[in-house]
Amino acid sequence: MAMEHPLIKDCWFREINDEHFPGQALMLKVVEILHWSKSEFQDILVFKSAEYGNVLVLDGIIQCSERDEFAYQEMISHIPLFSHKDPKRVLVIGGGDGGVIREVVKHDCVESATLVEIDNAVIELSKKYLKNMSTSLNHPKVKIELCDGFRYLKDAANSTDEDRYDVIITDSSDPDGPAEAFFQKEYFELLHSALKDDGIVIAQTSENIWLDINYLKNLMKTAKSVFTNTKYCYTMVPTYTSGQLGLVVCSKDENNELTSPSREITDREQNNLRYYNASIHSASFVLPTWADKVINQK
């Protein structure tokens, strides 16, 4: 290999994080290191893997791979967008790789999509190495704001009703350092204020039922203290440790069921999707009995 990285040994990348993934690790075979640098905000690694295409790693944690990224991007995007009857204004916090934005602009009803990303290096590297994900970053409906997502949301929370959002998607990093603010009660309060009266928010939980279910229980409790209509669902992502990633969905409209699409998915829309469909939308909210009792406190 032309370059070396402390997490790559004998051509294998090792994701080892005892804080978030105690007692387990994830390994991918590396063909070539494409990029390694430290931006103002984080350590950024991009490598070509043997089976999963190009892989983006931030601070030692895999963010996405070309092979399975759509499973995450589609679910975190289309669950809230199809749960809303007419989403026009969408805000995406994080997600500089462009995958969520790519999914958002597939909806003809969406008139504007704002992407808030703190690290421009992620955007530029994604344009170079993750071209299928970043393909819509230059879409005419898309506006990119290079700033801290928490601060941006504070301003949005104080905006007029017409400037508030129908859907907010939080595609943040794991809850360490600056990203920790995205998992606190104040953040959910800001989300509530930045949404229109029938607005929906979704956020990745950075956990799943196999990793730290008590964390999920507490996160749901925090979200429900602000949004009484809060649900937990998940998607399957092989390159995420243990293969599953949780999502928390909240609506200001207490009558919005969330667990099934609120509008019909057209054949044209479905033909543009690889993972999401109406059945998997509903199925993703169904939890094993033991997990359902803990997360939903039954």
Q: By percentage, how much of the chain surpasses pLDDT 90?
A: 84
Q: Which of 126, 121, 130 is nearest to 53 (CA)?
A: 130
Do 54 and 174 lie in one domain? The reply is no
Scan for tokens 């809303």, then name that residue. Answer: 84
CATH of the domain at 17: 2.30.140.10
| Tokens, residue 73 | 């991007």
Alpha-carbon separation of residue 203 from 15, 54, 170, 200, 250 (angstroms): 23, 24, 5, 10, 9
> For residue 108, what are the contacts with CB-CB under 8 A and spacing of at least 6?
none
Scan for tokens 């229980």, then name that residue. Answer: 217
Do 228 and 286 lie in one domain? The reply is yes
Do 114 and 236 lie in one domain? The reply is yes
CATH of the domain at 120: 3.40.50.150
Task: Look at 229 and 242; give whichever has higher pLDDT.
Answer: 229
Do 41 and 134 lie in one domain? The reply is no
Q: Which of 40, 46, 42, 38 is nearest to 64 (CA)?
A: 46
Task: Look at 232 and 186; give whichever has higher pLDDT.
Answer: 232
Residue range 140-161, pLDDT digits in tens: 999 999 999 888 998 988 888 8
Do 86 and 31 lie in one domain? The reply is no
The sheet with strand 12-16 has its strands ordered as 8-9, 12-16, 25-38, 43-49, 54-58, 61-65
Q: Please, which pLDDT band fits residue 175 given cuts at 50, 70 and 90?
A: very low
| pTM exceeds 0.85, yes or no | yes
Q: Has residue 106 got a pLDDT over 80? A: yes
Q: Please, which pLDDT band fits residue 177 given cuts at 50, 70 and 90?
A: very low
Catalytic residues: 171
Q: By percentage, how much of the chain surpasses pLDDT 70?
A: 95
Q: Is the dihedral of CA 92, 95, 98, 102 positive or negative?
A: negative
Do 179 and 45 lie in one domain? The reply is no
Domain count, the chain: 2
DSSP state, residue 182: G
What range does the domain containing 117 cover? 69-295
Beta strand segments in 164-212, E? 165-171, 195-204
pLDDT at 174: 52
